């Protein structure tokens, strides 16, 4: 009988406020922030999470978020090069775009939200049609990662010479020090500027769209002017024979710091621009109007003249008609200082409540330390005595740790989880995954619940053991246990004491002491909040070792104590007499953690040498050594009541093993950082992991059985499929920073190409189309044979047979073969259709042509038919031209498609005319209503005119 196990699956991820992988968006009320592979929506005022945008099975990290002008739609870019359009109210994916080979680093919508431009680490720039859900074209030219994209609309009064429906311009910046200006009507780069000496990290255009700023890795901000006249004239030669430039340098903007300028952002409505160049602060500049600058110049001149009269020596000043410089226009307003390292910032643009004159703005800051903050930026004041300061009005930081989660432990009933990191200890409710307590602690390394589940003991890097009371969320005792890091603590099986192992080479044994909460020194401050007993530790004995102690474990039967040392050995002692019993020798690097099975027969050790070893506790023999992870194995734990155990490592993987058969049962991914901590449920129902990415994840046991053969097959299939997709997408040139010689793509590549990328989904879609074509073709040939046989026989011939049975799939859907193929093709995502059609061999293309003719004849989904036929003709042009048989298929297809398109055209024309008529009628009715209000006579009209309030006289010229 093949042994089956029960599958484990990820159920919850919590402890994240926002991850540092991407920028964040704020609309004045809600913050849309990345949380590794998900996007979270926070109500910043209430500090409450409203939604989680999660797509099942998708593991790639979010790298970029952009909001569409159609306010409910968001574009989210991921580390695997895919882009998903999310609908915010329904929390669902509208469509997915796949075109980039590496992480998406920049996204931008045009002014109407119809087109989306995306830039990536693979140096490509792709323009997507959001409505048609297709990639329009891929633009190549940058030699390194694209960092920013901005759309520039073309002037509307131009007669457009292009066939493109919505031309315009794109500004892009990259780590290759270039800023490129692309003309979308010709789909080419019309100007390249070497903007800075180092990477261009940030770029933004002002509201008037005539000026833009770029920020570099050296902390330099430059301003550039966009020449609107040159744009309207198009590409023309000047007198000297050079091509007219569209972008001209203006000046540099002085900054307070010389760090990398990671973000520049103009306020959409108010005269402010903010620059983030320092790790923890954002500089806000106020944009002065020309009038203000002139006034200031006049004042300056006046003061200078007064000083002259008094006979003071003064510096030479410019005349008041001197040109206004950039530095005069942009004056430093204030600096917003955050409580941690800033990942990105945004404005709270939803300032409807503010009056136009009030220049108060909100600045939202997403931090690298898993927190969000909102600051109020006050408007400028007349008085110079008080320096302006930004005030923090909201912050969201309690639902997560500021640093890596280093230790986890569960209460005995699995209801409460304690997680510890450098700086805080948090208590979580496992049912609701909400944080119910937060307590300050030092640098926590290990932790455990004490018997009774009312207290948590935490071992710190400074050698202390801290005891916290959960009910009152207070630190009730600090015990200076060791002189160096407490690496491990474990409660004795009889629940009367615990053992601690430390880097000071000591193992100390402690007994629990229960003091009353009133009569002692702590009682005065604790009496009001602490009820019952206070747990304290009493040191009873010490065992000195030859090396640093990394882990200590009691055997569940209470007889033995295992100690892992820095010299890579594990020593086992008798618990009562502390006599030496066994030495487990075999690891090449120190053992970081270990666990003993419930029957005290097996001990499993995990080490920094990436191996897990299973030993017998009777004789200390090594049963098996398993190469378990690709990096150090950090924690190991037996599942309760079995010889199955879990391991976690720095390779971001959680693995499930059978300790009797020495086989891997299941691999579980999910974390995006090194996994430090692991704890297993006391009832064997689930396992919890904590990681460097600051998230805590729960993997629950499902009712679904798991067979090892099937699991191995599935893993191999996955490898094979990704291998095929990667081989089909292989570029002949190394990419940018990833290239061995550090150079970007060669210049002999075409600047503009089509958008295609094979993924496992498109391969599967192509296979489904092929299966549908085969099935329909078989069905058609069976019925054709039957009809031919019946046609030869007379009507009353006894040999006439019943028609053959229909294919069960077609019978179930009650569809004709042609309708079934259309159904399968329609189910393929619009964005992936071209890639799916590329999978079809030429024989299947010829077959598909027949169905296209049938669909065109019946007038089914003509836009889809047109799209498929044009794509196939473009891709297989040479074979189709060389193949005479295709003529018989193409001529009827042309005839039917033309007729169907003509019909569609007429229908659209009719509908457009009707809509225009309704619009004109509506306008005329509204105008008539405005002029012909009820019971108005001539006197009333004259009186209204005499008042002269609402009427405004305008002289009209012929």
- Specify the residue for token string 């039957």: 786
DSSP designation for 260: -
Identify the band that residue 953 occupies on the pLDDT scale cut at 50, 70 and 90.
low
pLDDT of residue 375: 92
Residue 519 has pLDDT above 50, yes or no: no
The helix/strand/coil state of 651 is: coil
Judged by average pLDDT, the poorest of 88-97, 480-489, 876-885 is 876-885
pLDDT of residue 242: 76
* Strand ordering across the sheet containing 62-67: 62-67, 73-78, 82-87, 92-98
pLDDT of residue 87: 93
The span from the CA of 205 to the CA of 191, in Å, is 17
Taking Cα atoms as reference points, which of 478, 473, 404 lies closest to residue 439? 473
pLDDT of residue 755: 78
Judged by average pLDDT, the poorest of 220-224, 424-428, 503-507, 527-531 is 527-531
Q: Where do the DSSP E strands lie in 380-525?
A: 391-396, 405-410, 416-429, 434-449, 455-460, 464-469, 474-480, 486-491, 497-502, 506-516
| % the chain with pLDDT above 90 | 42
Judged by average pLDDT, the poorest of 272-286, 653-667, 722-736, 763-777 is 722-736
Say if CB 888 and CB 911 are below 8 A apart: no
Say if CB 315 and CB 233 are below 8 A apart: no
Judged by average pLDDT, the poorest of 296-310, 451-465, 466-480, 723-737 is 723-737
The span from the CA of 159 to the CA of 924, in Å, is 30
- How many Å is the Cα radius of gyration of the chain? 36
Which has the higher per-residue pLDDT, 645 or 941?
645
For residue 808 the two structure tokens come to 């069960």
Which has the higher per-residue pLDDT, 370 or 737?
370
User: DSSP string of 60-97?
Assistant: PPEEEEEE-SSTTEEEEEETTSEEEEEETTTTEEEEEE
Residue 316 has pLDDT above 80, yes or no: no
pLDDT of residue 26: 92
* Other Cβ atoms closer than 10 A to 542: 10
Residue 354 has pLDDT above 50, yes or no: no
Cα dist. 508→485, 489, 535 in Å? Answer: 13, 10, 18
The span from the CA of 65 to the CA of 71, in Å, is 13
Q: Residues with Cβ < 8 Å from 906, sequence gap 6 or more?
A: none
> Buried b vs exposed e over 294-307: b needs ≥16 C-beta within 10 Å?
eeebeeeeeeeeee
The helix/strand/coil state of 265 is: strand
Length of the chain equals: 958
464-490: average pLDDT: 93
713, burial (CB in 10 Å: exposed 0-12, middle 13-18, buried 19+): exposed
Most confident option among 292-301, 382-391, 589-598: 589-598
Say if CB 274 and CB 286 are below 8 A apart: no
Residue 351 has pLDDT above 50, yes or no: no
pLDDT of residue 804: 81
pLDDT of residue 358: 56
Report pLDDT digits (tens) over 428-439: 999 998 999 999
Report pLDDT digits (tens) over 174-220: 999 999 999 888 888 888 998 888 899 999 998 888 889 999 988 88
Taking Cα atoms as reference points, which of 544, 542, 543, 562 lies closest to residue 552? 562
For residue 953 the two structure tokens come to 């006289």
114-132: average pLDDT: 91
Q: Where are the alpha helices (DSSP H) in 162-313?
A: 228-233, 290-309
* Other Cβ atoms closer than 10 A to 232: 11
What does pLDDT average to over the chain? 84
Long-range contacts of 177-186 (CB under 8 A, 24+ apart): 177/216, 178/142, 178/143, 179/203, 179/214, 179/224, 179/247, 180/141, 180/142, 181/246, 181/247, 182/125, 182/139, 184/127, 185/154, 185/160, 185/161, 186/162
Say if CB 636 and CB 605 are below 8 A apart: yes
Q: Residues with Cβ < 8 Å from 864, sequence gap 6 or more?
A: 825, 826
Say if CB 25 and CB 365 are below 8 A apart: no
Residue 326 φ then ψ, to 5°: -65, -40
Residue 543 has pLDDT above 90, yes or no: yes
Residue 315 has pLDDT above 70, yes or no: no
pLDDT of residue 951: 47
């Amino acid at each position: 009988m093949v042994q089956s196990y029960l599958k484990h699956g990820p159920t919850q991820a919590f402890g994240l406020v926002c991850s540092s992988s991407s920028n964040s968006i704020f609309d004045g009320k809600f913050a849309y922030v990345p949380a590794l592979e998900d996007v979270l929506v926070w109500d910043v005022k209430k500090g409450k999470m409203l939604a989680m945008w999660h797509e099942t099975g998708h593991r790639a990290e979010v790298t970029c978020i952009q909001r569409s002008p159609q306010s409910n739609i968001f574009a989210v870019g991921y580390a695997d090069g895919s882009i998903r359009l999310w609908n915010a109210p329904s929390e669902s994916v509208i469509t997915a775009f796949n075109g980039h080979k590496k992480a998406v680093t920049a996204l931008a919508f045009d002014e109407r939200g119809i087109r989306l431009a995306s830039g990536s680490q693979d140096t490509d720039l792709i323009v997507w049609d959001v409505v048609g859900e297709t990639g329009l074209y891929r633009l190549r030219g940058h030699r390194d990662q694209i960092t920013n994209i901005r759309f520039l609309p073309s002037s509307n009064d131009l007669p457009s010479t292009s066939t493109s429906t919505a031309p315009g311009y794109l500004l892009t910046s990259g780590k290759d020090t270039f800023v490129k200006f692309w003309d979308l009507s010709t789909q080419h780069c019309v100007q390249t500027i070497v903007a800075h000496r180092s990477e261009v990290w940030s770029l933004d255009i002002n509201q008037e769209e005539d000026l833009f700023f770029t920020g570099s890795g050296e902390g330099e901000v430059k301003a550039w002017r966009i020449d609107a006249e040159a744009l309207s004239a198009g590409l023309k030669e000047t007198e000297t024979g050079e091509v007219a430039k569209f972008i001209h340098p203006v000046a540099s903007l002085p900054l307070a710091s010389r760090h990398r300028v990671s973000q520049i952002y103009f306020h959409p409505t108010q005269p402010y621009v903010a620059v983030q160049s320092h790790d923890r602060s954002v500089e806000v500049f106020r944009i002065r109007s020309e009038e203000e600058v002139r006034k200031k110049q006049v004042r300056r001149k006046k003061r200078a003249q007064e000083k002259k009269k008094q006979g003071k020596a003064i510096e030479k000043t410019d005349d008041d008609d001197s040109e206004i410089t950039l530095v005069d226009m942009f004056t430093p307003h204030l600096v917003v200082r955050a409580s941690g390292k800033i990942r990105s910032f945004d404005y709270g643009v939803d300032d409807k409540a503010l009056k136009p004159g009030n220049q108060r703005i909100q600045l939202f800051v997403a931090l690298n330390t898993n927190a969000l903050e909102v600051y109020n930026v006050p408007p400028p004041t007349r008085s110079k005595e008080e320096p302006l300061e930004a005030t923090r009005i909201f912050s969201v930081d309690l639902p997560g740790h500021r640093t890596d989660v280093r230790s986890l432990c569960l209460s005995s009933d699995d209801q409460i989880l304690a997680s510890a990191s450098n700086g805080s200890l948090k208590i979580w409710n496992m049912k609701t995954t909400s944080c119910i307590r937060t307590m300050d602690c030092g640098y926590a390394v290990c932790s455990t619940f004490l018997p009774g589940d009312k207290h948590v003991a935490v071992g710190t890097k400074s050698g202390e053991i801290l005891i916290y009371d959960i009910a009152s969320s207070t630190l009730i005792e600090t015990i200076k246990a060791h002189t160096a890091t407490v690496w491990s603590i474990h409660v004795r099986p009889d629940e009367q004491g615990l053992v601690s192992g430390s880097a000071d080479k000591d193992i100390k044994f402690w007994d629990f002491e229960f003091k009353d909460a009133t009569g002692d020194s702590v009682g005065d401050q604790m009496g009001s909040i602490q009820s019952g007993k206070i747990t304290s530790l009493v040191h009873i004995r010490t065992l000195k070792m030859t090396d640093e102690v990394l882990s200590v474990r009691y055997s569940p039967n209470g007889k033995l104590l295992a100690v892992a040392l820095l010299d890579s050995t594990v020593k086992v002692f008798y618990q009562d007499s502390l006599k030496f019993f066994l030495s487990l020798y075999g690891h090449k690097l120190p053992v970081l953690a270990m666990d003993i099975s419930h029957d005290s027969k097996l001990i499993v050790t995990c080490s920094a040498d990436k191996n897990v070893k299973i030993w017998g506790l009777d004789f200390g023999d090594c049963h098996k050594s398993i190469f378990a992870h690709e990096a150090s194995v950090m924690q190991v734990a037996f599942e309760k009541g079995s010889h199955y155990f879990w391991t976690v490592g720095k390779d971001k993987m959680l693995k499930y093993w059978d300790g009797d058969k020495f086989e891997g049962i299941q691999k579980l991914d999910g974390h995006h950082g090194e996994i430090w901590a692991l704890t297993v449920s006391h009832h064997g129902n689930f396992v919890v992991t904590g990681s460097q990415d600051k998230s805590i994840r729960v993997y629950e046991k499902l009712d679904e059985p798991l067979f090892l053969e099937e699991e191995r097959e599935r893993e191999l299939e996955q490898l094979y499929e990704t291998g095929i997709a990667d081989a089909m997408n292989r570029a002949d040139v190394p990419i940018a920073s990833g290239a061995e010689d550090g150079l970007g793509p060669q210049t002999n590549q075409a600047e503009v190409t089509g958008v295609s990328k094979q993924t496992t989904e498109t391969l599967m879609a192509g296979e489904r189309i092929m299966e549908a074509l085969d099935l329909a073709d078989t069905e058609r040939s069976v019925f054709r044979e039957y009809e031919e046989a019946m046609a030869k026989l007379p009507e009353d011939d006894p040999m006439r047979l019943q028609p053959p049975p229909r294919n069960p799939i077609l019978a179930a859907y009650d569809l004709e073969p042609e309708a079934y193929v259309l159904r399968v093709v329609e189910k393929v995502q619009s964005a992936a259709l071209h890639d799916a059609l590329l999978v079809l061999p030429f024989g299947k293309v010829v077959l598909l042509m027949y169905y296209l003719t049938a669909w065109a004849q019946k007038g089914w989904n003509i836009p889809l038919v047109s799209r498929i036929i044009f794509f196939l003709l473009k891709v297989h042009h040479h074979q189709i031209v060389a193949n005479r048989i295709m003529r018989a298929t193409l001529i009827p297809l042309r005839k039917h498609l033309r007729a169907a398109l003509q019909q569609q055209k007429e229908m659209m024309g009719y509908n457009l005319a009707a809509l225009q008529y309704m619009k004109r009628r509506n306008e005329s009715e509204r105008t008539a209503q405005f002029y012909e209000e009820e019971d108005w006579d001539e006197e009333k009209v004259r009186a209204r005119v005499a008042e002269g309030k609402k009427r405004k006289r305008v002289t009209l010229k012929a």
